[in-house]
Amino acid sequence: MRAGPSQEDIRRHNLGALLRHVHLGGPISRAELTAKMGLNRSTIMALTSDLTAAGLVREELPRETGRAGRPSLVVRPESARVYVFAFDVGPDRLAVARVGLGGVILDRRETVRDRDRFDLDEVAGLLAGFARQMRRKTRADTVCVGAAAAVSGGVRKGDGVVRFGPNLKAEEVPFGEELGRRLGLGLPVSVGNDANLAALAEHSRGVGAAVRDLIYLHGDVGIGGGIIAGGHLLGGHEGYGGEVGHMVVNPGGRACGCGSHGCLEAEVGERALLESAGRVSSGRHGRDAVRTVVDAADRGDIVAQEGLSRVGDWLGLGVANLVNIFNPEMVIFGGILREIYLGSAAQVRSQLTLHAMAPQRERLRLRTSALGDSATLVGAAELAFAHVLADPLEVLARANA
């Protein structure tokens, strides 16, 4: 028989819950915390003073409240002091951000990545170098409490090994371990799929905040996805779940990087758009090339219009399938899919009307990403903060040691 939670467990849980409120919701008064957490005032006071002593939050008098009586103290995250490193490894870019508690991006570095190969030493070396540069610039009283990376590929939940990443040209790469070794901070580096993490980011502090069931679709070279159901990310048995880009929408269609044919990614991804818009020969790729197609379509270029509307049809069909299966409250388009959705919404929504079932589509909200290019980094930062929120004092004690 399992014993019930000890007092110590309950305290740890409450500390984490309070810190989560401050981390996700921003500065909040003690009085509001009392109401939101359903704990009494003296408990809130004890919890905040523990977190203050650990240097995770600080308490301040609010600016004028305009109300009578003694104002309740406002609890703020120590964003400038407590931070994590967030990494993003995409097909076209490598990025690192130093993100403070509360989700503030304090500093960031970014460079263009060569699409043709994946060299673990080079990538990990470069990212760790950026992190060291940023760390040198920090004040002495700052503390790094975690690190995590968003990678465009399938990541094994247990050990952060990138199992497959056709768009990165990476396979069986022990990325988390290598990056952790090179960082030399004595901290493990958690690794997650970029679209999964961007979904978490939009769910925790983006357009999908307070939405418990959502699907985030991320477009770059390929199409990634993150499915949040009942407030939790669907990772599947080993963490490879959510690969909506490899849902087959057109059997016998275009060849996909994964080896199959007619995957959503093969019909909607960057290559498909550039090919059907007749723009492969220009030699340009990436987000700018996609923008050029949308722009040309807007100016009346018929080939670009046809290419875009063809891609919009496939995207709509893919979303209709997902909507029928998961009944999300919101579908979010991020990465290049933001431009593609806004430029072909008539096609996307017509396909939804034709193929999604009425009860699922009636209240569905289609939105573009609120975090934009930062979504993957913000998501990686949330992953890095996760263990701090689970046990704030223990993690801080270890980081300060």
Partner 1 sequence: MTPLLEVRGIDKSFGPVKVLHDVGFSAYAGQVTALVGDNGAGKSTLVKCIGGIYPIDSGQVLFDGEEVQVHSPRDAGELGIEIVYQDLALCDNLDIVQNMFLGRERKHGLLLDEDSMEELAEKTLSGLSVRTVKSIRQQVSSLSGGQRQTVAIAKAVLWNSKVVILDEPTAALGVAQTAQVLELVRRLADTGLAVVLISHNMNDVFAVSDRIAALYLGRMAAQVATADVTHAQVVELITSGRSGELGLKNGVTP
What residues line the site for partner 1 (CB under 8 A)? 291, 294-295, 298, 338-339, 341-350, 352-354, 358, 361-362, 364, 366-368, 370
CB of 361 to partner 1, least distance (A): 5
Closest CA to 393 of 7, 5, 3, 14: 14
Distance from C-alpha of 130 to C-alpha of 110, rounded to nearest angstrom: 9
Residue 294 phi/psi, 5-degree rounding, is: -60, -40
CB of 363 to partner 1, least distance (A): 8
Nearer to partner 1, 10 or 346 (CB): 346
Nearer to partner 1, 154 or 219 (CB): 219
Nearer to partner 1, 332 or 396 (CB): 332
Written as one string, the DSSP assignment of 51-113 is HHHTTSEEEE--S---SSSPPPPEEEE-TTTEEEEEEEE-SSEEEEEEEETTTEEEEEEEEE-
CB of 338 to partner 1, least distance (A): 7
Distance from C-alpha of 233 to C-alpha of 250, rounded to nearest angstrom: 27
Nearer to partner 1, 63 or 237 (CB): 63
CB of 94 to partner 1, least distance (A): 25
CB of 303 to partner 1, least distance (A): 16
Q: Give helix 392-400 / helix 7-25 axis angle, nearest 10°.
A: 80
CB of 92 to partner 1, least distance (A): 19
Name every residue whose Cβ is closer than 8 Å to that of residue 104 and which is 6 or more positions away in sequence: 79
Nearer to partner 1, 228 or 290 (CB): 290
From start to end of 166-234, where are the E strands?
A: 170-173, 189-193, 214-219, 223-229, 232-233
Count Cβ neighbours within 10 Å for each residue of 195-211 and write b for 16 or more, e otherwise: bbbbbbbbbbbbbbeeb
Q: For the chain, what is the total number of helices (H) and then of strands (E)?
A: 14, 16
Nearer to partner 1, 163 or 287 (CB): 287
Contact between 344 and 338 (Cβ < 8 Å): no
Distance from C-alpha of 232 to C-alpha of 196, rounded to nearest angstrom: 11
Q: Give helix 336-355 / helix 287-298 axis angle, nearest 10°.
A: 60
Strand partners, 333: 217, 368
CB of 91 to partner 1, least distance (A): 22
CB of 128 to partner 1, least distance (A): 31
Nearer to partner 1, 30 or 338 (CB): 338
Nearer to partner 1, 52 or 350 (CB): 350
